[in-house]
Structure 1
């Protein structure tokens, strides 16, 4: 019997074509899924955060390379283990806590010590892996290394504290320096009366030096304040600064100190108080590095630089401080001048940073060379005057004269004690002194003296007068009255930028309170 199987053949043919299309669709979808899988794997491998994928029970299903590095365990070894047992990074991390983090959106932090001995801070968060029907099928744990962020936050907080302290210190410094100026003036006047010989004269001289050194305390606080710390550059005897700093900062040390300073050492254009601070930071650093039986070598010499990576050619004074300590580890040498970087537990990391700021603000440079086990040498370069400074300035009573009359000085300050002590001292030295309490009064006295033919040879003014006209405003009016007026400005705000550019404001000289009378006379 014959059967017509045409329809059946068509059916089988259609079934085969349908199967082929289905297989091709499956292959295409498989390729797409594999491509998506490879994309996900590539993304996971490129992410810096550690990613752990967990099943419903908290067992590890997959981890990325960053997580492998963080937990110190390869993926093959970690898969199947519970999350709380894989590494110290996740100490205290369990499924219950992960679910709480997912519900609240919070994170937890852990500080851990890695296998290489370094301590890191990580932040851990968790997200539910939701499947069909909004059923939680697992968990994705993200581990972020936030060590650098914590360091930046700490540094920002430290900066804010220092800036707040600096603003507070600026006001305190003004009052503190006014008091020191008055005390210094009275002591100097008494010293002039007693003469230079005798035990009393020596004690008064020591008191003068200690008062002047006290000014550096407030300047140290102001070094890091925004917009402050600019040096009041004048011809400075750096030889004296080096010798006094060595005695001051290394006194009581068991280290052997070798000091070698050229006798004909040039002066530098600088701020003696700030340069003392710079050297103090370097010397204290050397003192700590040496320990009990160390040797510190300090040298200062004149150098002519023709080529330097950061300085113009010219004449400089080079100061070197060498210790025989353990040296600076090579891995941290690039960071020692960074603010807040310290290897000491209680260190603030500001000493060398301060030294760097002062050196560069003086137009100089600071560098070092260090060898493990052989010590460290810091080299400081400061622009010089090219000549040795005058090392003796002595004024005697009766020498303050011009022509046939005395030198007339107009002194303006809002502080009664400063006016009294400074005018007393100037009179003791032979000057004729008139005083004013503010800028307006000084202008009136100056104008009247000019009209009466008894002009002042110099005007000495305080920069600021609370509630009145200070020197900054008064100098403009005085210049209108007399373009040739010789005016010297001083202030207890030792961080005021006018001090570093006083000529631009019309002043002939500038001083920081408290000042030595020799400095005022020299100006």
Structure 2
């Protein structure tokens, strides 16, 4: 919100800005928490004084900062004042507990925040006081409150002497490391961290003389390494540096979130690139493939030229497949989803790839999986890439496991796959026993054309997992990869379930259909117009063309008044100027409710392409298209069977068969 001008060169912030600025600039500690104790806000001064990281404190409970007995007194007084209708603040001298488990005295003013007539949160504004009783209270509390907090903290808290021998560790250390307390207290810190860790920390502490915050790898009992954040500081005895106190926090989930954010930014860049190149490439390829088809039709199949053109068409087909990969990434592209049972489909998709590879598969897929809305072509492509990737990880052959299960993410449950929203999902995992992925490469595996494998002759290497990532994300799903070198890799995908029914659209067989009908095509690409004209005339149609929507409408009007109306119109959805296919179709329906329209586009996932009947069209042509695909679409339109009629007929036939 813009500020209000007071005078030359001076701006008074608007009310909303003031409400944000004052707490941030205040020297007092300002914090809020709900009635359950969960902290919802802490200002900059509060975080600096208490000592927690900003991404930690909002996951904490107020009981970690204010001793329970003092907190109880504040809440009871506030709730009593609310019950009596006074709604007043209460003032108390209390002690806060900082990150280093030190108590410091504050004067705290506490107030209730009321929402819908009921207490919802508590606001505390605390000012640090100089209390001569601080040391006495700290000493008395250390044996009670602080001891309890230390032993039950989420972090591993340890003390090591100058040589690195651990002299103290809290109970959390057992869960954190896998060692017992007795084992840990006889261990050197070098067994838990990479070499020279203690020397580096000691050096930094001696140079800075303050607390040192660092990140490193922690090594548990099973030799598993995971990222941790450490807060190390000297402990003093008789005014001398003595031991090192270290608070160790597992930041695995944070690192995974960071990788996911980076992945998301890269993916957004890719969508912009894909959207920019797909349109032009498809128009060029439509012209090339169309001319190849026309040239082959005038040649004897035994001629060498016919064979060469067939190879050329096959190459164009590979380019079209690559373009469709990029179409999966493009912005605005959405899957054409149908409700179905994902379990049998996964098995069928995996089995369709196995003849091409040197691996076997064990399935662990129960019968009672929830139904999922998914695009069959896209999910089958994703599964294909995952199986091929597993095969490449096991060059000498091997076995993969494919598992599926229902999972529910509830408010109290942390998902294995990061940042999942609450809800029900079907989780599918692909586990191989291959060479594994190094930790450095793990964050790059979804990058386009990245590969850690030496495959100089492999075309399209590294694009597979990028495609998988795009497909799962556009299904509103989640994907995660875990790997250990020499052990194998596990790829886990989670797809949200759906409770709605979607019609099952039939796929019609390709055939050539010859009839003397008139076709109007609107397209602003000269190459597309030229090749479409030749293909349609080869199929026996009369044609007329327009390069913009306004001209197409006028041509259609004139044809209606003559004895030669158009039987079908093919409209390009996106043109550089003027009306596009959707707008033209809307106007044509006003002129002729029986107009038969086909929408054409490079983007098969445009809403007008996936839900074409909603916009008045009766068919679709995805660029680039061949003469066979053009013929099949026109045949379908010419027989006058809309999708709706077809589905009704099919439903009636099934009903009669079932008696």
What's the counterpart of residue 616 of structure 2?
506
Question: Which has the larger displacement, 513-522 or 136-145?
Answer: 136-145
TM-score (norm 2): 0.51
- Pair 44,283 (structure 1): closer, same or farther in 2 beyond 3 Å: closer
Question: Which has the larger displacement, 407-416 or 109-118?
Answer: 109-118
Residue 164 of structure 1 pairs with residue 266 of structure 2: no
What's the counterpart of residue 97 of structure 1?
204
What's the counterpart of residue 284 of structure 1?
388
What are the superposed Cα offsets for residues 26-76 of structure 1, whole Å, 9 maximum, x if unpaired?
Answer: xxx999966652321221122121223578999866432234665677667
**Bigger Cα Rg:** 1
Mapped to 2, the partners of 1:356 and 1:118 lie a distance apart of 27
Matches within 5 A, 1:13-412: 36-53=142-159, 62-67=168-173, 87-88=192-193, 90-98=197-205, 103=210, 107-127=213-233, 140-194=245-299, 198-223=303-328, 227-231=332-336, 274=378, 277-278=381-382, 280-281=384-385, 284-285=388-389, 287-288=391-392, 291-292=395-396, 336=429, 343-345=436-438, 348=445, 391=509, 393-395=511-513, 399-401=514-516, 407-412=517-522
Q: Measure how far apart 1:469 and its partner are.
A: 2.1
Q: Measure how far apart 1:151 and its partner are.
A: 1.7
- The question of whether the paired residues in 2 share the 8 Å contact of 1:250 and 1:287 is answered with no
The 3-state SS of whatever aligns with 1:223 is helix
- Pair 453,335 (structure 1): closer, same or farther in 2 beyond 3 Å: closer
Mapped to 2, the partners of 1:444 and 1:359 lie a distance apart of 44
Question: Which has the larger displacement, 204-213 or 496-505?
Answer: 204-213
Give the RMSD, CA atoms, in angstroms: 5.1
Question: Where do 5+ consecutive residues of structure 1 fail to align?
Answer: 1-28, 234-241, 257-268, 297-307, 311-332, 363-371, 374-382, 402-406
The 3-state SS of whatever aligns with 2:229 is strand
- Pair 420,144 (structure 1): closer, same or farther in 2 beyond 3 Å: same
Mapped to 1, the partners of 2:179 and 2:352 lie a distance apart of 55
What's the counterpart of residue 481 of structure 1?
591
Q: Measure how far apart 1:460 and its partner are.
A: 0.7
Mapped to 1, the partners of 2:237 and 2:398 lie a distance apart of 69
What are the superposed Cα offsets for residues 55-102 of structure 1, whole Å, 9 maximum, x if unpaired?
Answer: 899986643223466567766777799x86674354444334135566
- The question of whether the paired residues in 2 share the 8 Å contact of 1:170 and 1:495 is answered with no
Mapped to 2, the partners of 1:295 and 1:100 lie a distance apart of 54
Q: Measure how far apart 1:414 and its partner are.
A: 1.2
What's the counterpart of residue 437 of structure 1?
547
Mapped to 2, the partners of 1:493 and 1:474 lie a distance apart of 18
Mapped to 1, the partners of 2:505 and 2:549 lie a distance apart of 38
- Pair 164,428 (structure 1): closer, same or farther in 2 beyond 3 Å: same
- Pair 460,129 (structure 1): closer, same or farther in 2 beyond 3 Å: same
- Pair 72,36 (structure 1): closer, same or farther in 2 beyond 3 Å: same
The 3-state SS of whatever aligns with 1:184 is helix
Mapped to 2, the partners of 1:198 and 1:289 lie a distance apart of 43
- Pair 521,220 (structure 1): closer, same or farther in 2 beyond 3 Å: same
- The question of whether the paired residues in 2 share the 8 Å contact of 1:232 and 1:500 is answered with no
Mapped to 1, the partners of 2:547 and 2:523 lie a distance apart of 5
The 3-state SS of whatever aligns with 2:274 is helix
Mapped to 2, the partners of 1:437 and 1:92 lie a distance apart of 74
- The question of whether the paired residues in 1 share the 8 Å contact of 2:275 and 2:330 is answered with no
TM-score (norm 1): 0.63
- Pair 154,352 (structure 1): closer, same or farther in 2 beyond 3 Å: closer
What are the superposed Cα offsets for residues 269-328 of structure 1, whole Å, 9 maximum, x if unpaired?
Answer: 9989647734632552564477446799xxxxxxxxxxx989xxxxxxxxxxxxxxxxxx
- Pair 101,427 (structure 1): closer, same or farther in 2 beyond 3 Å: farther
- Pair 293,477 (structure 1): closer, same or farther in 2 beyond 3 Å: same
Mapped to 1, the partners of 2:252 and 2:569 lie a distance apart of 57
Mapped to 1, the partners of 2:535 and 2:607 lie a distance apart of 28
- Pair 171,128 (structure 1): closer, same or farther in 2 beyond 3 Å: same
- Pair 283,69 (structure 1): closer, same or farther in 2 beyond 3 Å: closer
Residue 515 of structure 1 pairs with residue 630 of structure 2: no
Match of 1:424 among 516, 524, 534: 534
Q: Measure how far apart 1:150 and its partner are.
A: 0.9
What's the counterpart of residue 260 of structure 1?
none
Bigger relative contact order, structure 1 or 2 (CA pairs below 8 A, ≥6 apart) = 1
Mapped to 2, the partners of 1:42 and 1:500 lie a distance apart of 60
- The question of whether the paired residues in 2 share the 8 Å contact of 1:53 and 1:141 is answered with yes
Mapped to 1, the partners of 2:359 and 2:142 lie a distance apart of 69
- The question of whether the paired residues in 2 share the 8 Å contact of 1:246 and 1:283 is answered with no
Mapped to 2, the partners of 1:84 and 1:205 lie a distance apart of 68
- The question of whether the paired residues in 2 share the 8 Å contact of 1:120 and 1:147 is answered with yes
The 3-state SS of whatever aligns with 2:595 is coil
- Pair 272,115 (structure 1): closer, same or farther in 2 beyond 3 Å: closer
Match of 1:490 among 600, 605, 627: 600
- The question of whether the paired residues in 1 share the 8 Å contact of 2:212 and 2:233 is answered with no
Number of equivalent positions: 413
